[in-house]
Structure 1
């Protein structure tokens, strides 16, 4: 059985590749293993996550929403870069990642390369 030490070590994983190679499947497998280990896991599509962040910001509950995501030990964000993020959404997503850094783990999947 694979042990995802990232959730314990607060490390991050980025899975890159073209559509259909199994990035989401691997991310879900990491999440399932973290759940078996008793970790709090949240899986979300990148666009849905940004929509949640934008709504929370407009409703003046962004800090509370960020606090919730910081409490998640493993946040899995699927399909980052599949659709472009506008400036506001990109800034809010960056703020979430910055706040979560070293407080929990993030798994990102994307069909884009690092340069993009």
Structure 2
């Protein structure tokens, strides 16, 4: 709830916010990389002033997933 409230406050202030489940965000760059769309995805995420990751502590991810997530 706190993350959602912070995200809504940021939106009210005109900031760009992305809300993602961690599992989705770990898998999405790998798929985008395979499809040749990684640069586009990273540009979209870079435009955000705030990225809120849900369920971060619950998701085990491999080395490649971790590297892409933190890139």
Question: What is the CA–CA distance in structure 2 between the aligned matches of 1:42 and 1:26, rounded to whole Å?
Answer: 15
> Paired residue for 1:56, among 32, 38, 45?
32
> Paired residue for 2:45, among 69, 87, 92?
69
Equivalent position of 1:27 in the other structure: 3
Q: TM-score when scaled to structure 1? A: 0.58
Cα RMSD, aligned residues only? 1.0
For structure 2, the residue ranges without an aligned partner over 5 or more in a row are none
After TM superposition, where is structure 1 displaced by more than 2 Å over at least 4 residues in a row? none
SS in 2 for 1:44: strand
For structure 1, the residue ranges without an aligned partner over 5 or more in a row are 1-24, 96-116
Larger Rg, first or second structure (1 or 2): 1
The yes-or-no answer on 1:47 pairing with 2:39 is no
Paired residues, what number? 71
Q: TM-score when scaled to structure 2? A: 0.91
Question: What is the CA–CA distance in structure 1 between the aligned matches of 2:59 and 2:70, rounded to whole Å?
Answer: 16
Equivalent position of 1:78 in the other structure: 54
Question: What is the CA–CA distance in structure 2 between the aligned matches of 1:27 and 1:40, rounded to whole Å?
Answer: 14
Question: What is the CA–CA distance in structure 1 between the aligned matches of 2:70 and 2:48, rounded to whole Å?
Answer: 17
